[in-house]
């Protein structure tokens, strides 16, 4: 269940009020932050403009059924607008699974905007066809992509340090919405088995596409 504390800030709690997701989507220099909790461990990922400029500021946010939607609207000084839709898929064992759908749109005629999804102070455990496995904040965290979404993303990271996923970056036509769906899978301190990874990949492949924002 989502609880909105203020514009651009929300917490999704499970049984007995335990928080599973915290979203801070105020935009600007802070970007968009998505925090995951599994058991006693917590990690945070940040979405920001790959050019180094601040993201647009939050314009609207709301909870709809299982989703929390934050809309960072393009202003006269922004190169694009961003919408982030976050959903809790599972908060049980063996993993907490969070879905993030990122949409980008521009009013500019010639634009190639891109975003970074950063996991700071993370260790890259393995890079696989379906995504990458990190160790961060006491968790083993999988960042999973479908085959369609992998076409618009690129993993860039050192072995230790900031681990980055580049979203988009190709030519974006004025008025066209581009979209990418990510699954963030937190398994806890123990590295997931090959079967657990395969089950998460299959679950993502079979999951219905979310409603448009």
Along the chain (213 residues), what's the average pLDDT of each consecutive run of 10 residues? 92 81 94 92 92 94 92 90 94 91 88 88 87 91 92 73 81 87 93 94 87 61
The full DSSP string for 85-118 is EEEEEE-SSS-EEEEEEEEEE---SS---EEEEE
- DSSP label of 205: H
| CA distance to 26, 172, 174, 176, per residue, from 109 (Å) | 26, 8, 5, 11
The pLDDT, as a whole number, for residue 102 is 95
The pLDDT, as a whole number, for residue 192 is 95
The pLDDT, as a whole number, for residue 135 is 92
pTM beyond cutoff 0.75: yes
Residue in the block written with tokens 């976050």: 86
Rg (CA), the chain: 16
The pLDDT, as a whole number, for residue 68 is 95
CATH class, 2-206 region: mainly beta
Q: 3-class secondary structure for 35-70?
A: EEEECCEEEEEEEEECCCCCEEEEEEEEEECCEEEE
């Amino acid at each position: 269940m989502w609880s909105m504390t203020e514009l651009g800030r929300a917490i999704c709690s499970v049984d007995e009020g335990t928080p599973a997701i915290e979203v801070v989507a105020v935009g600007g220099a802070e970007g968009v932050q998505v925090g995951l909790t599994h058991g006693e461990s917590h990690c945070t990922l940040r979405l920001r403009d790959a050019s180094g400029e601040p993201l647009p500021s939050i314009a609207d946010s709301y909870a709809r059924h299982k989703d929390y939607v934050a809309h960072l609207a393009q202003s006269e000084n922004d190169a694009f607008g961003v919408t982030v839709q976050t959903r809790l898929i599972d908060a049980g064992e063996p993993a907490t699974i969070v879905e993030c759908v990122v949409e980008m749109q521009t009013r500019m005629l010639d634009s190639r905007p891109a975003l970074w999804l950063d996991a700071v102070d993370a260790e890259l455990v393995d890079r696989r066809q379906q995504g990458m496995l990190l160790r961060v904040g006491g968790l083993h965290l999988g960042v999973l992509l479908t085959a369609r979404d992998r076409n618009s993303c690129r993993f860039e990271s050192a072995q230790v340090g900031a681990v980055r996923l580049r979203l988009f970056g190709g030519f974006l036509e004025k008025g066209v919405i581009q979209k990418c769906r990510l699954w963030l899978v937190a398994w806890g301190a123990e590295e997931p088995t090959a079967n657990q990874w395969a089950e998460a990949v299959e679950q993502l492949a079979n999951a219905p596409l979310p409603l448009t924002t």
